[in-house]
Amino acid sequence: MWPAAILLALAAAAPASAAMVKDGSTCIVTPLSTTPAAVAARSIGAVAPTERDLDPADSPDGDSALWAAQDPRPLGRYPRAEPGSGRAAPVVARRVDDEDPVVAGPVPRQNRVDDTPQILSAFSQCGKNGVIILREGTYYIRQVMDTTSLSNVSIEIYGTLVWSADNLSYWRQKSFSVTYAGRQTAWRIGGRDIAMRGFGKAVFDGNGQAWIDLARGQGNLDGRPISLTVWQGTNVFIDGITWRMAQFWHTFIAHSQNVTMTNLDMNTFSTSGQSSVNTDGTNTWNSKDITISNWTVKCGDDCIAVKGNSSNVHISNVVCRESGAMTVGSVGSNSNQPDYVENVVFENITAIHSSNAAWIKTYPGRGYVRNITFRNIRFEDVNQPIYVTSCIYSYQNCDSSRLAITDVRWENITGTSRYNVAAGIHCSSAAPCDGFHFSGIDIKPKNGGTAKVLCSNIKNQASSGLTCTGPCPGSHPQQLSGNV
């Protein structure tokens, strides 16, 4: 039994990288919090809302309902290690042993455990022709990580990484730009021949509830960081990682080629009154040759979104809850820059209680979306399963868009719609949709009756296999609030 005061002194004195050991080309990292020195320091997840360094301008009334327990239940249908895998970081003080609970008095910020330096040290010493192992336990991440010049590295993660939430201003100021739409990220990985494996044991906990409550429904709060970005990566393999309460989008794939991401489990969903908007599973952008397979995602926004300049993207075996499921877009947001998306397959997808299921959203911009397949999409209680728009969000200038959407197949699309609309498709009259093909479409309103199919400006409508029951105006919204 260690008196708390001694432990605190040790924690302050311990060199940051004490737990990283290099053995040949292998760097092994052990969480500082499992060393005696750190036991006295509280979990950073336990920092009281009043202690968080929130920017008062963003959180005018210092809402004391900020902290709410997250949902720790693993949702995955894929075999995963129990029980550590899906577990949230502890939000109570750790105990040294059964008789000796540590008194969780306030720990000065500078004494709180930070595992970032030793992790970054492992990346710099073993990130080329090496192996990086993060052993089991909880790692406290208090700093941004930029690990973008990796080559031939195997990253093996067995522990839980918890991103701090006691200084959100820090993340907003220091997170790295990913250029897209002014967004930022807390961790960039890039380089060549990178494998990052979590074995169903790695958990990335972004303390997302704090971000959701700070953003208060504002979609793109400046500086709110994407959890993990694959940035200028070639031959990247990411497998077996569980996310709980990501800060913003769970992942982003940008300026990358040949990226495979499999067996991922993501769950970020608000338990306060605030919405979990922009907690997308992933977005691809300026990237090609992407494979996404075996994901389970519960989030408050798009499950998988294929954005501008993405090609050869294959997505399969994904279960999405509460999300936007499978989407191409948004693309064409910058009228000065064309956006090109082609050769995308979404197959064997399940969507539960989502906004849409198989859809395409563009701004009235330039470029094209072509050769897209949605196949074997099954869903329950989806607001508007099939949706195409040329003027997402504004619903203005819909017919001036020159961003053509062509050669799109919807095959074997079955399930229940929330209201009496199976499909709403509005293409721009300046660049009508063409080469649309529908087969095996069986969509029934969950409360009975028949579903409407609304469409406008599909050039090959007669041969598309879809019987339209009425026109779809540009103003037709992405989400309905009742029968139309």
Sheet holding 176-177, edge to edge: 176-177, 184-185, 225-226
Total binding residues toward ligand NAG, as defined by CB under 6 A: 41
416 binds ligand NAG (CB under 6 A): no
Q: Which of 412, 416, 429, 460 binds ligand NAG (CB under 6 A)?
A: 412
242 binds ligand NAG (CB under 6 A): no
Stretch that binds ligand NAG, among 55-63, 83-91, 111-119, 166-174 (CB under 6 A): 166-174
Q: How far is the CB of 470 from ligand NAG (least distance, A)?
A: 27
The rounded distance, in Å, linking the Cα atoms of 454 and 358 is 15
Site for ligand NAG in 67-126 (CB under 6 A): 78-79, 109
Closest CA to 423 of 373, 476, 462, 350: 476
Closest CA to 163 of 277, 45, 78, 24: 45
Amino acid in position 400: S
25 binds ligand NAG (CB under 6 A): yes
263 binds ligand NAG (CB under 6 A): yes
309 binds ligand NAG (CB under 6 A): yes
Q: Which of 16, 93, 170, 484 binds ligand NAG (CB under 6 A)?
A: 170
447 binds ligand NAG (CB under 6 A): no
Q: Where are the alpha helices (DSSP H) in 344-452?
A: none
Find out whether 309 and 285 touch, Cβ atoms under 8 Å.
Answer: yes
Residue 61, burial from CB neighbour count under 10 angstroms (0-12, 13-18, 19+): exposed
Site for ligand NAG in 270-289 (CB under 6 A): 286
Query: If DSSP codes are grouped into helix, strand and coil, which group holds residue 253?
Result: strand
Closest CA to 91 of 73, 69, 109: 69
169 binds ligand NAG (CB under 6 A): yes
Find out whether 303 and 280 touch, Cβ atoms under 8 Å.
Answer: yes
Q: How far is the CB of 77 from ligand NAG (least distance, A)?
A: 8
How many residues are recorded in the chain?
484
Q: Which of 111, 348, 397, 429 binds ligand NAG (CB under 6 A)?
A: 348
435 binds ligand NAG (CB under 6 A): no
339 binds ligand NAG (CB under 6 A): yes
Beta-strand ranges (E) seen in 110-169 are 128-134, 138-141, 145-157, 160-163
Q: How far is the CB of 14 from ligand NAG (least distance, A)?
A: 19
Contacting positions for ligand NAG (CB under 6 A): 25, 53, 78-79, 109, 129-131, 152, 167, 169-170, 173-174, 235, 237, 258, 260, 262-263, 286, 293-294, 308-309, 312, 316-317, 334, 337-340, 343, 345, 347-348, 371, 376, 378, 412
